[in-house]
Amino acid sequence: MTGYGRGTATVGERSVDLRVSSVNRRSLDITISVPAGWEALEAAIVERVKQVALRGKVHVAVESGGAQRADPIAWDETAVQATLDRLAGLAAERRIAFQPTPELLWQVASACRQAAGLPDAETAGPAVLRGLESTLREFAAMRAREGEALLIDFLSRLAALRRLIEAVAARAPQVVPAYRELLHRRLREANLELDLDDERVLKEIALFADRCDISEEITRFRSHLDQLAGLLKADGEIGRKAEFLLQELGREAHTLGSKANDLAISRHVIELKNEIERVREQMANVE
C-alpha cells in the first residue's frame, strides 16, 4: 500500500527533517538514509516501521538541516585537517609531491560539512525517534485511508462473485436434462431405434450426470466467499489469509469450468476467474 508521512525533530540547535514513504510490494522492504555518523539509529528505525507496516517498499529519510543559530558555513576543521594529513601521507608513501589546491580544499571541506556540528547518534537518537513516531502516525493514517477505499472495492467485487456463483447454481440443474434432450435428438437424427428408457441410454445419462455434478464445488465456493467477507471485516492482518482464500476460489472456479460441460456455465466461470484475478491483484498490496 502507498503512504507518505513527514515530520521534524530538533536535535541540539539543528532541525532534522523526517520523511517516510511507501509503494506497493508483496513483502516488507525497508530502506533508510541517515546523516553520516547516525547509522546506529537504523535498527531502532526499522523496528518502529515494522510496528505500522507489514508490506510495501518503505523508505525512511532522515536529513539534518542547518543549525538554528550557527554560522551557515560551518565545517568540521578537525576532520578537514585529518583528511589532508592522510592524503599527504599517502602521497609521501608513493613519493608524489602533494600541494593542496583551492579546488581540493573546497572538496574536502564540503565533504566534511554535512556532519559538522551534528551530535552523535546516541545523543540525537531520542529526539529523532520521537519525531519519527509522529511521522509514522501520519504515514499510517494515509495507508488506512487507502485501505478503506480498497475495502469498498473488495466488497463490491465479492457481491459480483456471489451473483455469478448463484447464476452457476441456478443453471446447474438444467445441464443434465439439456444433455438428455440433446442425446435424444442425436439418436433420432442418426435413425437409431433406441428408446430413452433403454438401459444403455440411461447409463450414458447417469455417467454424464456424475461427471458434471458441481454441487460440491458450488458449496465450497460459497464457503470461501463467506470466509473472505468475514476476513475483510475483521481486525488485524488480512492480506496473506485473503490471498490463500482467493487461491482456493480460483481452484474451485477452474474445476467448475472443467466439469460443467455447459456453455452458459462456462461463460459465468470466465467472468468468475476474471473477477478473482482483479481481487487478487489488489489484495497483493493489502496488509
DSSP class of residue 232 equals: H
> Would you place residue 205 in the very low, low, confident or very high pLDDT band (cuts 50, 70, 90)?
low
Interhelix angle 102-113/77-93, rounded to 10 degrees, is 130
> Would you place residue 196 in the very low, low, confident or very high pLDDT band (cuts 50, 70, 90)?
low
Task: Give the C-alpha separation, 67 to 72, whole Å.
Answer: 8
Determine phi and psi for 6, rounding to 5 degrees.
Answer: -140, 140
Q: Is residue 230 part of a domain?
A: yes
Both 249 and 181 in a single domain? yes
Task: Give the C-alpha separation, 80 to 114, whole Å.
Answer: 12
Q: Is residue 91 part of a domain?
A: yes
The cell numbers describing 278, all together, are: 482483479
Task: Give the C-alpha separation, 255 to 70, whole Å.
Answer: 72
Q: Is the pLDDT of residue 287 over 50?
A: yes
> Would you place residue 144 in the very low, low, confident or very high pLDDT band (cuts 50, 70, 90)?
confident
Both 89 and 153 in a single domain? no
The cell numbers describing 253, all together, are: 472456479
Q: Is residue 126 part of a domain?
A: no
- C-beta separation of 21 from 56 below 8 A: no
pLDDT reported for residue 70:
45
The predicted model scores a pTM of: 0.61
pLDDT reported for residue 209:
63
Q: Is residue 11 part of a domain?
A: no
Q: Is residue 28 part of a domain?
A: no
Q: What is the pLDDT of residues 233-265, one digit of tens each?
A: 877 677 778 889 999 999 999 988 888 778 888
Rounded CA Rg of the chain: 34
Highest average pLDDT, of 93-97, 189-193, 238-242, comes from 93-97
Q: Per-residue pLDDT averaged across 18-31, rounded? A: 90
Highest average pLDDT, of 77-91, 174-188, 208-222, comes from 77-91
> Would you place residue 200 in the very low, low, confident or very high pLDDT band (cuts 50, 70, 90)?
low
Q: Is the pLDDT of residue 81 over 90?
A: no
Structural element, H or E, at residue 30: strand 28-33
Both 150 and 105 in a single domain? no
> Would you place residue 267 in the very low, low, confident or very high pLDDT band (cuts 50, 70, 90)?
very high
pLDDT reported for residue 239:
75
Both 104 and 197 in a single domain? no
Both 153 and 277 in a single domain? yes
- C-beta separation of 196 from 180 below 8 A: yes
> Would you place residue 197 in the very low, low, confident or very high pLDDT band (cuts 50, 70, 90)?
low
The cell numbers describing 246, all together, are: 482467493
pLDDT reported for residue 68:
46
Choose among 34, 38, 41, 6: nearest CA to 20: 6
Both 93 and 154 in a single domain? no
| Domains of the chain: total | 2
Both 151 and 229 in a single domain? yes
Both 87 and 191 in a single domain? no
Alpha helices, DSSP H only, in 9-76? 42-50
Both 249 and 180 in a single domain? yes
Both 98 and 218 in a single domain? no
3-state helix, strand, coil in the chain (%, to 5): 65, 15, 25
Q: Hey, is 91 helix, strand or coil? A: helix
Q: Per-residue pLDDT averaged across 4-29, rounded? A: 89
Q: Hey, is 13 helix, strand or coil? A: coil
Domain endpoint, select from 113, 135, 164: 113
Q: What is the pLDDT of residues 33-74, one digit of tens each?
A: 998 888 999 999 999 999 998 888 999 999 886 554 444 556
Half-sphere exposure of 47 (CA within 13 A, CB side): 6
Task: Give the C-alpha separation, 203 to 210, whole Å.
Answer: 11
Q: Is residue 167 part of a domain?
A: yes
Q: Is residue 70 part of a domain?
A: no
Alpha helices, DSSP H only, in 97-211? 102-113, 121-189, 199-211
List, in order, residues 6 or more apart from 184 with CB less than 8 Å away. Answer: 196
Q: Is residue 54 part of a domain?
A: no
Domain enclosing residue 167, as ranges: 146-283
Task: Give the C-alpha separation, 42 to 123, whole Å.
Answer: 14
Both 91 and 150 in a single domain? no
